[in-house]
Amino acid sequence: MKEQLEAIRKQAFDKLEEINDIRELDELKVHYLGKKGELTQILKGMGSLSPEERPIVGQLANDIRTALEERIAEVKERLIKALRDEKLKSETLDVTMPGRIRHLGKKHPLTAVLDEIKDIFLGMGYEIAEGPEVELDYNNFEALNIPKNHPARDTQDTFYISENVVLRTHTSPVQIRHMKSHKPPIRIICPGRVYRSDAVDATHSPVFHQVEGLVVDKGVTMGDLVGTLQAFARGIFGENTKIRLRPHHFPFTEPSAEVDVSCWGCNGSGCRICKGEGWVEILGAGMVHPNVLRECGIDPEVYSGFAFGMGIERITMGKYGIDDMRLLFENDIRFLKQF
Is there a single domain that holds both residue 172 and residue 240?
yes
Q: Which residues of 218-251 are buried (b: 16+ CB within 10 A; e: fewer)?
A: eebeeebbbebbeebbbbbbeeebebebeeeebb
pLDDT reported for residue 305: 96
Task: Give the residue from 272, 275, 260 showing the smallest Cα distance to 315.
Answer: 260
Is there a single domain that holds both residue 69 and residue 204?
no
Instruction: Kindly state whether residue 103 falls inside one of the protein's structural domains.
Output: no
Is there a single domain that holds both residue 69 and residue 211?
no
Is there a single domain that holds both residue 202 and residue 314?
yes
Does the pLDDT of residue 101 top 80, yes or no?
yes
User: Looking at residues 124-150, what average pLDDT do you find?
Assistant: 93
Is there a single domain that holds both residue 167 and residue 312?
yes
CATH number at 295 reads 3.30.930.10
Of 90, 122, 141, which residue is a domain's last? Answer: 90
Is there a single domain that holds both residue 249 and residue 278?
yes
Distance separating alpha carbons of residues 301 and 133, to the nearest angstrom: 32
**Domain enclosing residue 166, as ranges:** 109-336
Q: Do residues 339 and 320 lie in contact, with contact meaning Cβ atoms separated by under 8 Å?
A: yes
Helix (H) or strand (E) holding 251: none
Is there a single domain that holds both residue 176 and residue 287?
yes
pLDDT, tens digit (0-9, with 9 covering 90-100), for 179-217: 999 999 999 999 999 999 888 888 888 999 999 999 999
Distance separating alpha carbons of residues 319 and 233, to the nearest angstrom: 11
Instruction: Kindly state whether residue 212 falls inside one of the protein's structural domains.
Output: yes
Is there a single domain that holds both residue 81 and residue 118?
no
Is there a single domain that holds both residue 85 and residue 134?
no
Is there a single domain that holds both residue 184 and residue 330?
yes
pLDDT reported for residue 103: 79
Instruction: Kindly state whether residue 242 falls inside one of the protein's structural domains.
Output: yes
